[in-house]
Amino acid sequence: MNADSTNPENKSKDETKKPEDAPKKLDLQNLDLSVEKVEERISPSETNVFDK
Amino acid sequence: MSDFPITLIFPPQAHFTQPYMGLACLKAWLQEHGFDDVEQVDASVQSYDHFLSADYLRWAVRRAEARGDLEQLATKDELPFADMDTFRTAAEVAVSGHVLAERVEGAKAVLRGQDFFDPAKYVPAARTLFHSLRIVSAAWAPTKLTPHNFTMAYSIDRSNEVLAATRDEDQNPYLDYFRTELLPAIVKRNPRVLGMSIIYGSQLIPALTLGRLVKEALPDCHITAGGGFLAYIGEKILKAPALSESLDSIVFHEGEKPLEELCRAVREGTDFKHIASLGYFTKNDQGETVGIKNIGGHPISLNEAPMPDFDGTPFDSYFSPEVVLAYDVNRGCYYGECSFCTLPTVIGPGYRTRAAETIAGHVKAMREKYGFSNFNFITDCLPPGMIRELPEELISQGSDIKWWCDARVEPRAYTKQGAERLYESGCRKLLFGFETAVPRLLKLMKKGQTPKRTLEVANNCNDAGISVTFYAMVGFPSETREEARETLAMLQENAAGTIGPNGKSGPLREVSLQTFHVDEVAEVFRDPTTYGVELLPDPAADLQLYHDFNANAGMSQLEASEMFDEIMAGLRQSLPLFHEDTFFYFTQKSHYFLHLASGHSPDEFIEHCKRRGVARQDELARTASGDALLDLEVVPLTGTCAIPFSYAEVTRRLAHPLARAARPDFLTGTYIPDLELRAAEGIGPVPSNPQKKLVLAYSPGSTEFVELSKDGEAVLDALRDSGSYGKLLQALGQPGGPERERLDHFVLGLHRAGLLFVPEHQLTAL
C-alpha cells in the first residue's frame, strides 16, 4: 500500500524485499541521523471540562 | 406508525462515549402525555461512527490530497503563521492518512470491546481515533473536528456567518453527511415535529444545517430546538430572522412541558401564544419574519417526572465497552451563589430534586430494563441531605450500580463515614469545584468554601476508595500569576502518589482546568466594576455569549492562557493519571470511570497503566544493552513523507498560546482577527532548510509522528528491506568502530520513537 500513489516521495511499505536487494548504498560516515519524536499536542479543546 | 410522529435529535458535535440524557427525558414525558410515537436519534455518535470508518478516511485522504497543499507550500522559502496549520494537516494526511484508514475500524473495536481494559491496546486505539479525526478535518479544512469540538472558519457568534456555514459545501462536513445518511430516514418517517437538543456551542452549526435541510425537504414539519446552549443565546436567535430558514421555534430551559404543549398545538393547529417558555418565528402585519418569546413557565415536578426512556438509543455505537447511562437526580443548584457560574440557569429557575427513594427505584429499573449497571448522575451538586440519603436508598433497594457525578464541597456530609457509605452505594468518582487555592479569590467567587475543608473532603473520599477530581480555574479577574502558581503548588502537593507531611499520599487524581470566560448571564458580566473588568463590546456579534475583557488588575486573558499551559505542564508531572499518554484516559471521563467501575481501585488502575510503561522500558533496556538490538524490525505499515519544513518546529509554534488564541476557541468558537496578526508577528515564520532534507514518519503501532532526515529515511528503508537490523549489518559487511556506533545510536533512537519493534513483543498490535 502506498501512502500517496501520486507522489513518489511518500511511501509506506509493509512488503519486504528479498535480502539480496538490500541494502542501498549508505555513506555511513556522513549520514545525518537525527530522530525527533514530535510530542502529542493536547490543547484545551481536548480537555473540555463539560464533556463526558 | 401513528398519525403524529415526533423525532428528537441530538445533533453533532458532542461526546461519543455515552448516550445523552435529555432526549430520553423528553421521550418519556411526551409518551406519558399522549404522544406515543417518539423517536430519538443520536446523530452525533452516528456521524462520528460514519466519519471514523475506513471508506470515509480513504475518501477524506483523496479530497485533502487533491488540494495539493504540500506541493504548493514546498515552493515557499519560509512558512508564515497563516500557512502553518495547512502545512501540518497536509503532512499528516500524506504520512498517516492511508494507514489510519487501515487501522480505524480496529481502533473502534478496541474501544468497544474487552481490549478497552488493556492500556497497551487502549492508548494506541484512542490515539488512532484522535489522528483519524485530523484526516476527516483535513478533507474539510480549515474546519476542525476533534473528539471534543467542532469549529469552522465561521464565528458562531454572528448569525450571518452561522447561516453561511450551514450552506458551505466545501467546509461543512455535515451537509453531505445529513443528505446521504440522516435525511432520507427523516423524510421516510415524515415527523410532524422535529426537536433538536443543543447543549454545546459546537452543535449550533450542524443543528442549523440539519434544520434547514429538513425544512426544505419537509415544509410541513415543525422544527424546534432547545437545550442548554440555546438557553443562553435563544433570544438572540429570535432576533435574527434569517435563522428562521433553519428553525421554527425555540424551547427555553426545561423542555418537557413546552415541548408537550408545542406538539399539541401543532397537532391541533392552534397558535403558540400561550405556550410558556417557547420562542418562535412568525410573520408580522407587514409580512416580515419576527421572533417572539413567550413568558417563562414553571418547572415540572421533577419527582413526578417519568424515568428516562432510552429505547431506540444506538447503544452499540458508543465508543465504550459498556454503556454509562445518564440520569438526572436534580435540576438547578441548591447553592447558586458562585459568581462565575451560570450553569444552573440553563435548566430553568430554582432548584428541584427527585426523592432519594425515586432515584434508587429508577436506576434499579433502568439497570434491569437495559442491562447496564453504570450511571452518570447529572447534577450540578448533591445537597448534604441527599449525600446522606441517596446511598442508603441505593443500598437498601439493591440498586447494584456504580456511579459518578459532580459535587460541591460539603464537609458535613462528605465525612469519613459518609464517604464510605457513598462508596458502598457504588460511587466511584466525584468531581468537586475547587477552583483556586487563594482565599481572596474564593471570596470573590463566592464559593463559600476554604481549601482546607476542600482537602478534608477530598481525603475522606479518597480514603474511602472514591477517585477525586478537582475543577480548577485560571484567569479569574484580578488573579495574578503568583496566585495561579499558588494554586498549582497546592494541587501538586495533594496529588495522588505525592507523600505529604503526614506521610500519606495525596487524594487528588485529576484536575479539570479551565480558563475563565465571561458569559452574559454571569454576575461578572452584570457587574464588571466589582470584578475590575472592562468588557470589550463587539456589536457585530449578534449571537455572542462569551465576552472578551480587559482586567484592571492581574493577568490578561492571554497571560491566563499562558498560565493554563504552565499549570497543565505542572499537573502532567505530578498527577499519575496525567503522565505521558495515560492522559488519554482523562480526556474521556467515562473511560477512566469504567475502569473504576470494573473493580480497579484508582491506585490499581495507575499500576495497571504503569505496567505498560515498564514493559516498554524493559524492551528499550534490552535493545540498548545489545540483547535484542539485532532483532529490531520496522513496524509494519510505517509510512514516510518528504516535508519542505520542519513538522516538529511547526507543531511547537502552533502550541504557542498566541497561536492557540488565534484559532477558534473551544468554548466560544470565535476567530479574533487582530490576534491572527499578533500571532503572526509574535511567532514568526519557519524557514525552509534545503540543505537538511526532512522526512516525516508515522508508525501505526506506537501512533507517533517522528521527524527524520532524508538520510535517516534511507536507513529506515534499508532496515525494512533487510528485514532486521542484524540482517542489515550483515548486508553492510558488519561495519565497526564509530560507524557502527552511530548506526546503533540511530537505530535505538528509531526504536525509542516507536518506528522499530522487537517482533516477539507485540506491543504494537491493535
Q: What is the pLDDT of residues B713-752, one digit of tens each?
A: 999 999 999 999 999 999 999 998 999 999 999 999 999 9
Q: At what angle do helices B602-624 and B737-752 cross, to 10 degrees?
A: 160
B612 touches B585 (CB < 8 A): no
Of B300 and B765, the one with more pLDDT: B300
The CATH 3.40.50.2300 portion of chain B extends over 6-44+162-293
* Distance (Å) from the alpha carbon of A40 to chain B's nearest alpha carbon: 8
Residues of B in contact with A50 (CB under 8 A): 200
Give the model's confidence band at B679: pLDDT under 50 very low, under 70 low, under 90 confident, else very high.
confident
pLDDT tens, position by position, B690-716: 788 999 999 988 898 999 999 999 999
Helix (H, G, I), strand (E, B) or coil at B8: strand
Q: Can you tell me whether residue B639 is helix, strand or coil?
A: strand
pLDDT at B8: 98
Mean residue pLDDT across chain B: 93
What is the average pLDDT across B437-466? Answer: 96
Q: Which three cell numbers stand for residue B458?
A: 477530598
How do residues B596-653 score in pLDDT, each as one tens digit? Answer: 999 999 999 999 888 888 888 998 999 998 889 999 999 999 999 999 999 999 999 9
Percent of chain B residues topping a pLDDT of 70: 98
CA–CA dist B159, B543 (Å, integer): 6
Q: How far apart are CA B533 and CA B742, in angstroms?
A: 58
Q: What is the CA radius of gyration of chain B?
A: 27
Question: Which residues on A lie below 8 Å from B376 (Cβ)?
Answer: 52
Size of interface A-B (CB pairs under 8 A): 183
Q: Give tens-digit pLDDT for B406-426.
A: 999 999 999 999 999 999 999
- Tell me which residue has cell 499500576: B607
Tell which residue, B31, B41, B37, B35, has the closest CA to residue B306.
Answer: B31
**What residues contact B465, with CB distance under 8 A and at least 6 apart?**
B423, B428, B601, B602
pLDDT reported for residue B666: 45
For the whole model, what pTM was predicted? 0.93
CB B368 within 8 A of CB B361: no
Give the CA distances from residue B59 to residues B54, B56, B63, B66, B102, in Å, rounded to whole numbers and listed in that order. 9, 5, 6, 11, 13
User: Closest to A12 (Cβ–Cβ): which among B638, B655, B711?
Assistant: B638
Q: Is pLDDT above 50 for A18?
A: no
Cα distance between residue B277 and residue B608, in whole Å: 50
Q: How confident is the model at residue B765 (pLDDT cuts 50, 70, 90)?
A: very low
Q: What is the pLDDT of residues B366-402, one digit of tens each?
A: 999 999 999 999 998 899 999 999 999 999 999 999 9
Task: Encode burial over B626-642: b for 16+ CB neighbours within 10 A, e otherwise.
Answer: eebbbbbbbbbbbbbbb
CATH hierarchy code of domain B322-607 = 3.80.30.20
For residue B56, the Cα-to-chain-centroid distance in whole angstroms is 22
**How close does chain B come to A5, measured CA to CA in Å?**
10
- Interface contact flag, B752 A41, Cβ < 8 Å: no
In terms of CA atoms, which chain A residue is nearest residue B748? Answer: A35
Q: DSSP for B52-104, please give it.
A: SSHHHHHHHHHHHHHT-HHHHHTT-SEE-HHHHHHHHHHHHHHHHHHHHHHHH
pLDDT value for A16: 41
Asked if omega into B691 is within 30° of 0 (cis), the reply is: no
Give the separation between CA B332 and CA B441, rounded to whole angstroms.
24
b/e B273-309 (16+ beta carbons within 10 angstroms → b): eebebbbbbeeeeeeeeebeebeebebbebeebbbbb
pLDDT at B663: 63
The interface predicted TM-score of the complex, written ipTM, equals: 0.77
Spatial separation of the C-alpha atoms in residues B531 and B552, rounded to whole Å: 9
Q: Please state the rounded mean pLDDT for residues B152-180.
A: 95
Residue B489, pLDDT above cutoff 70: yes
Which residues have a Cβ under 8 Å from the Cβ of B45 and sit 6 or more positions away? B16, B19, B314, B317, B318, B319
CATH placement of domain B6-44+162-293:
3.40.50.2300
β-pairing, A11-12 vs B639-643, is antiparallel
**Residue ranges of B 637-666 with Cβ closer than 8 A to chain A:** 637-642, 647-648, 651, 654-655, 660, 666
Q: Which among B51, B50, B54 is positioned nearest to B103, based on CA atoms?
A: B54
Phi then psi dihedrals of residue B28, to 5 deg: -60, -45
Chain A residues in contact with B727 by the CB 8 A cut-off are 19, 22
| Amino acid identity, position B578 | F
The pLDDT-based confidence of A39 (bands split at 50, 70, 90) is confident
The reply to whether B636 touches chain A by the CB within 8 Å rule is yes
- Residue A21, pLDDT above cutoff 70: no
Task: Please spell the DSSP secondary structure of B162-185, one letter per residue.
Answer: HHHHHH-TTT-HHHHHIIIIIHHH
Q: Between vectors from CA B425 to CA B423 and to CA B429, what angle results, nearest 5°?
A: 45
Enumerate residues 6+ apart whose C-beta is below 8 A from B406: B379, B380, B381, B430, B431, B432, B433
Chain B: residue whose CA lies nearest to A24: B718
Q: How confident is the model at residue B282 (pLDDT cuts 50, 70, 90)?
A: very high
Cβ distance A38 to B731 less than 8 Å, yes or no, reads: no
In terms of DSSP bridges, do strands B6-10 and B78-79 run parallel, antiparallel, or are they unpaired? unpaired
Pairing of strands B549-551, B533-535: antiparallel
Rg (CA), chain A: 20
Question: Which residue in chain A is spatially nearest to B713 when comparing CA positions?
Answer: A33
Strand partners, B251: B278
Asked whether residue B668 carries a pLDDT value surpassing 50, the answer given is: no
A40 vs B127: CB contact, 8 Å cut-off? yes
Over residues B114-126, the pLDDT tens digits come to 999 999 999 999 9
d(CA A31, nearest CA chain B) in Å: 6
Three-state secondary structure call for residue B22: helix
**Cβ <8 Å between A49 and B512:** yes
Scan residues 33-52 of A and list those with Cβ closer than 8 Å to B. 33-52
Q: Is the pLDDT of residue B665 over 60?
A: no
Give the whole-angstrom CA distance, residue B403 versus residue B423: 9
Concatenated DSSP letters of B312-369: T--GGGSSSSS-EEEEESEES-SS---TT--GGGGG-SS-EE--HHHHHHHHHHHHHH
B706 and A14 in contact by Cβ < 8 A? Answer: no
Q: What is the pLDDT of residue B696?
A: 97
Residues of A in contact with B735 (CB under 8 A): 28
Query: How many Å apart are CA B373 and CA B351, to the nearest integer?
Result: 27
Please name which of B439, B254, B425, B417 lies closest in space to residue B328, comparing C-alpha atoms.
B254
d(CA B133, CA B145): 6
Which residues of chain A lie closer than 8 angstroms to B750, CB-CB? Answer: 35
What's the angle, vertex CA B181, arms to CA B68 and CA B156, rounded to 5? 65
Q: Is A11 a residue whose pLDDT tops 80?
A: no
Confidence of residue B179 (pLDDT cuts 50, 70, 90): very high
> In this complex, is the C-beta atom of A5 within 8 Å of any C-beta atom belonging to chain B?
no
Closest CA to B582 of B538, B613, B537: B613
Contacts of B745 in chain A (CB under 8 A): 33
Among the listed residues B129, B4, B15, B104, the one whose alpha carbon sits nearest the alpha carbon of residue B54: B104
Partner residue opposite B723 with nearest CB, options A14, A19, A48: A19
The boundaries of every CATH 3.80.30.20 domain in chain B are 322-607
Is residue A4 pLDDT above 70, yes or no?
no
> Quick check: A16 and B723 CB within 8 A?
yes
DSSP secondary structure letter of residue B21? S
